Structure 1
Amino acid sequence: MDPPPSFEEKFGTRVCKLKKYLYGLKQSPRAWFERFTQVVKKQGYSQGQADHTMFYRHSQKGDDVDEIRCLKEHLALEFEIKDLGPLKYFLGIEVARSKKGLMVSQKKYVIDLLKEAGMSGCRPADTPIDPNVKFGNKEGRLVDKGQYQRLVGKLIYLSHIMPDIAFAVSLVSQFMHSPMEEHEEAVFRILRYLKSSSGKSLFFKKSEQRGTEAYTDADWAGSITDRRSTSGYCTFVLGNLVTWRSKKQSVVARSSAKAEFRSMAQGICEMMWLKKLWRT
C-alpha cells in the first residue's frame, strides 16, 4: 500500500503490517466470514454449495441438542458471542412457536413505520395498490427524494416477510431516482394497506407433505414507459411458502408468450436452487 505522508522521512522504506482488521472497511465482512468459515469447518461441518453462508453436518439424532451445545461452546472460545436463547425477535422480525408450526411476522416494525411516516391514524386500504394504476406521467411535481427512498427501503425489507406487498413495492422502487407525487401516493397506499394487515404473519406448518412446487406469472408490456413486462414467482417447500419475487424483466418481450417463458425460466432456476439446497 502507499505509505502515508511523512512516513518515509521517519521510517525509511519500511511498510505497515496489518495485524487487525478494522470494523467498517469494505474488506472486513469478507475477512470475518473467512475466519468464521475456518473455525466451523474445523468442527467437521461442510459448507453448502448452493448457499455458501450455510454450514451443515448430518446427525442420526435429528435435532442434535448436544452437538448444538458443543458448537456454541467452541464458537465462544474463538469469538465474543452471547447466547440469547430461542429466537423470538431479530431485526424487526417476530417469531412465535407452537406445536403446529412456526409463525413469522413484523407487526412492531409496521407500527413503527406508520408512526415514522405520520400515518398511525390513517384510513386502512383493502389492497396494497390500485390494480389499474399505470405509472407513465413524466411531468409532475417532484417530492422529497430522501424521505421517499427511506420509506421504500423499509418497504423492501418488509416485503421479505410479506409476499402480498412484493409487487407493489417492486413497482414503487423503480422511481427512487426521481419520485413524483403519483409515486408517493402509491407508497402511502401501501402504508394504508399495512395499517389493515399488520397482524398478518407467515405460518410454516409441520407437514407430512413432500416435494417442491413453484408458480409463475407475468404481465405483458405492463410498463407504459419502456413496454417491459413484470415477472413473478413463488415457491413452496413441504407445502410452505418459502421464496417469492416480483421484478421487471430486463428486456422487452415481443409477445405475451415470451413474457411468460421468461417468468417461467426464473421460477425454474429458483426451483433448481431450492432442490440443490434441499439435497445438502
Structure 2
Amino acid sequence: MLSKSFHMKYLGELSYFLGLEVFRSSSGFFVSQRKYALDLLNEHQMVDVKPVQLPMESNLKLTTDKGELLPSPTPYQRLLGRLIYMSITRPNISFIVQPLSQFMHQPMSVHMQAAKRLLRYIAGTVNQGILLASTSAATLTAYCDSDWTGCPISRRSTSDYCIFLGKSPVSWKAKKQSVVARSSAEYRAMALTSCEVTWLTYLLKDLGLSSLPPAVLKCDNQVALYCC
C-alpha cells in the first residue's frame, strides 16, 4: 500500500531495527528489546543482579523532600531516557516510568533507587515483549483506570490505558492528568482512552479495515454507572 505513494526498496524480512527485535512465526510477530535491555543492564553493571517480581514497591510515592540531590542529573536523565524507549515494547513498566520522568531536572537519590529497582525487574524479564498475533480478530478493546490524587506533590491523578486489537496490545499510556480531579478522575481516564480508540479506528480504516465492529471500552463499573 505504501509503495503506491512512496518510492520504497525491499531490504528483506525485518529482524532488527533501532533496538527492536522482531521474530516471525505461525503465531504472528513477536517484538522485544532483549538486546537493548541487556546492554542497559550491562551499562549499569546489573546483569547478574537478583531480580524482583514487581517493577516498583507497593504504594510508592515519589517526592522531592526525601533523599539527597544527585551530584549530576545526567546519569539519571540518560537512564530514564532509555527506560522510556523500552516502554515501546513493555507496557508493564510504563506506570512507574511516568512518575520517574518527572524528576529529570533535580533527581534525588530515592529516585535513582526506584529506577535501579526497575532495572532489577527488567533483569528478570529480559525476554518479555509483545505478540502481534496473526489470528486476532479486528476488534478494538480498551482498558482504562486511574488513581485519585496519586501524586503527592501536585495532587493530580494518573490515567492509564491499554488498547488491544484482538489479542495484541497496540497502544498504551500512563499520563498525569492536567488538572486536579475531585470526583471524576476515572471519567477523565475514559475520555483520554476514547480519544485514542477513535484515532486507532480511523487509522485502521485508512489501512483498509472498513468493516470494524464497535470498539469496547472497559473501566471501573461504578464510575461507568455514574457517568451514564
Return the TM-score normalized by structure 1.
Answer: 0.70
1:98 aligned partner, one-letter code = S
Q: Which runs of structure 2 are paired with 1:140-219 in the superposition (5 Å)?
A: 140-143=67-70, 144-207=72-135, 209-219=137-147
CA distance in structure 1 between the partners assigned to 2:21 and 2:89 by the alignment: 10
Cα shift readout 1:98-141 (whole Å, capped 9, x = no counterpart)? 11211001100000000111212211111110121111242531
Cα shift readout 1:221-243 (whole Å, capped 9, x = no counterpart)? 00111100000001111331100
Q: Which runs of structure 2 are paired with 1:76-91 in the superposition (5 Å)?
A: 83-91=10-18
Highest RCO, 1 vs 2 (Cα 8 Å, sep ≥ 6): 2
CA distance in structure 1 between the partners assigned to 2:15 and 2:64 by the alignment: 45
Q: 1:108 aligns with which of 17, 29, 35?
A: 35
* Bigger proportion of residues as strand: 2
Q: CA deviation at 1:248?
A: 0.7
% same residue: 44
Please state whether the residue corresponding to 1:231 is helix, strand or coil: strand
Please state whether the residue corresponding to 1:246 is helix, strand or coil: strand
Question: Are the counterparts in 1 of residues 52 and 121 from structure 2 also a CA contact under 8 Å?
Answer: yes
Q: 2:8 aligns with which of 69, 72, 81?
A: 72
CA distance in structure 1 between the partners assigned to 2:66 and 2:26 by the alignment: 55
Question: Are the counterparts in 2 of residues 152 and 173 from structure 1 also a CA contact under 8 Å?
Answer: yes
| Structure 2 unmatched ranges of 5 or more | 207-228
**Relative to structure 1, is the Cα distance of residues 217 and 208 closer, same or farther in structure 2, using a 3 angstrom cutoff?**
closer
CA distance in structure 2 between the partners assigned to 1:215 and 1:109 by the alignment: 28
Moved runs in structure 1, 4+ residues, more than 3 A? none
Q: Which runs of structure 2 are paired with 1:1-280 in the superposition (5 Å)?
A: 44-45=4-5, 71-72=7-8, 83-143=10-70, 144-207=72-135, 209-255=137-183, 258-280=184-206
| Structure 1 unmatched ranges of 5 or more | 1-39, 46-54, 56-70, 74-82
CA distance in structure 2 between the partners assigned to 1:158 and 1:84 by the alignment: 25
1:268 aligned partner, one-letter code = S
Cα shift readout 1:183-210 (whole Å, capped 9, x = no counterpart)? 0000001100000000112111122523
Return the TM-score normalized by structure 2.
Answer: 0.85
Question: Are the counterparts in 2 of residues 210 and 239 from structure 1 also a CA contact under 8 Å?
Answer: no
CA RMSD of aligned residues (A): 1.8
Q: Count residues in correspondence.
A: 205
1:72 aligned partner, one-letter code = M
